[in-house]
């Protein structure tokens, strides 16, 4: 029986590449993998929908270049003091907030606000020399980091707003048992869900490339692996009919990131109190969504579905569950860093470095 679940149909396609479908006339000679040809999601078109992931990623790149030149950099020059100017930010708060992100703090970040010099001598501890490998690395100024955080705020913010709209538009988002109702039935994947997938997947795809050109942290391999696992899960849940749980996972992953990027932008602008409040909100949302809702409701729902009426140990569903457990391991690692940084800042024990730099 056809599902009666309400879906949100959009009057116009969000995917601009729909107008480029004639390009696919040149692709029939390219053989598609068997698992794609036999995909169980009847609401996707191959290879058109898959090409949209690429078009959206290119769109993100163009938007990034335009916003960086005409919005982010001018805004950074207006709000953020120049590199040699005294900073208003508390170094303890700065290290705590920057320590929770792998993409905006360079390896030379420790004591950068107190040191400000290129000789590796700390102004707070003039008799101590910075590690030689850190002193050799050029510092990343706050204006550059402000622009990077502003861009991430746009990407994660766009994904979060779309996910929240689906949350209030679809009746299944808050009910994990409904993720698996009539899986594979045609006409269940709305245009809005398709757009959400293309927006989120292309964003992670673009970030997976640009992350190699950003300042790196000690958890760089963890972040790269996290992006790779996320892309694999999103792709499989899109091709196979697991897009409902995929939407929930994407929203839970993205909803805390805009708060984190806003906290860092406030920090670089010298708005310490705002940065404090935003960091506290980020920590609460991160732990609540990724360390409680995600494992207790989403992973458990996937686990129950994986072994329901199924005696085989290795299936696409069980493989996806294993990937989700791996993601939760990353979440626990980052949550430990957040709590460690927050504890040091609250107890005022002189946080002087990002723990991932050791």
119-153 residue pLDDT tens: 333 344 445 444 444 444 456 789 999 999 999 99
**Prediction pTM value:** 0.76
pLDDT tens string 35-65: 555 556 778 887 788 889 999 999 999 999 9
Which H or E run includes 312? none
Q: What is the pLDDT of residue 97?
A: 65
Residues 216 and 34: beta-carbon distance below 8 Å: no
Q: How far apart are CA 334 and CA 260, in angstroms?
A: 13
pLDDT tens string 313-344: 666 678 788 889 988 999 999 999 999 888 87
- For the cut 80, the answer to whether the pLDDT of residue 166 exceeds it is yes
For 165-180, b where at least 16 C-beta lie within 10 A, e where not — what string? ebeeebebbeebebbb
Q: What is the pLDDT of residue 204?
A: 94
Residues 103 and 148: beta-carbon distance below 8 Å: yes
Distance of CA 99 to the CA centre of its chain: 16
Three-state DSSP class for residue 83 = coil
The tokens 């897009």 sit on which residue? 243
Tokens of 18: 């729909």
Q: How far apart are CA 238 and CA 202, in angstroms?
A: 13
| Nearest C-alpha neighbor of 290 from the set 324, 316, 320 | 324
Residues 227 and 253: beta-carbon distance below 8 Å: no
What count of other Cβ atoms lies within 10 Å of the Cβ of residue 274?
15
Q: What is the pLDDT of residue 345?
A: 74
Q: How far apart are CA 240 and CA 262, in angstroms?
A: 35
Q: What is the pLDDT of residue 223?
A: 87
* Sign (positive or negative) of CA dihedral 296, 297, 303, 308: positive
Average pLDDT over residues 276-299: 94
Average pLDDT over residues 199-207: 95
Mean pLDDT of the chain: 76
């Amino acid at each position: 029986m056809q599902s009666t679940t309400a879906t949100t149909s959009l009057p116009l396609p969000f995917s601009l590449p729909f107008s480029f479908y004639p390009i696919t006339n040149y692709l029939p000679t390219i053989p598609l993998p068997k698992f794609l040809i036999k995909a169980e999601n009847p609401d996707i078109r191959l290879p058109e929908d898959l090409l949209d992931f690429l078009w959206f990623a290119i769109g993100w790149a163009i938007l990034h270049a335009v916003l960086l030149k005409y919005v982010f950099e001018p805004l950074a020059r207006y709000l953020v003091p120049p590199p040699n100017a005294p900073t208003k930010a508390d170094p303890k708060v700065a290290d705590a907030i920057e320590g929770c992100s792998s993409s905006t703090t360079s390896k030379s970040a420790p004591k950068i606000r107190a040191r400000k010099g290129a000789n590796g001598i700390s102004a707070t501890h003039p008799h101590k020399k910075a590690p030689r490998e850190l002193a050799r690395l050029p510092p990343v100024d706050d204006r550059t980091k402000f622009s990077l955080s502003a861009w991430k705020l746009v990407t994660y913010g766009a994904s979060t707003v779309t996910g929240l709209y689906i949350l209030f538009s679809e009746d299944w988002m808050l009910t994990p048992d409904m993720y698996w109702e009539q899986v594979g039935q045609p006409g269940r994947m709305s245009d809005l869900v398709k757009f959400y997938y293309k927006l989120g997947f292309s964003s992670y795809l673009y970030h997976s490339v640009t992350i190699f050109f950003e300042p790196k942290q000690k958890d760089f391999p963890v972040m790269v692996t996290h992006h790779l696992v996320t892309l694999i899960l999103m792709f499989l849940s899109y091709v196979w009919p697991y897009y409902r749980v995929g939407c929930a996972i994407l929203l839970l992953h993205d909803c805390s990131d805009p708060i984190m990027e806003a906290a860092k932008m406030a920090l670089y602008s010298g708005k310490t109190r705002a940065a404090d409040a935003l960091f506290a909100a980020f920590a609460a949302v991160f732990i609540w969504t990724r360390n409680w809702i995600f494992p207790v409701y989403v992973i458990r729902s996937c686990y129950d579905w994986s072994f329901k009426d199924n005696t085989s140990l290795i299936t696409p569903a069980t493989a996806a569950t294993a990937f989700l457990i791996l993601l939760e391991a990353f979440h626990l690692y980052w949550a430990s860093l957040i709590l460690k940084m927050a504890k040091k800042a609250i107890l005022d024990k002189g946080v002087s470095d990002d723990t991932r730099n050791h």
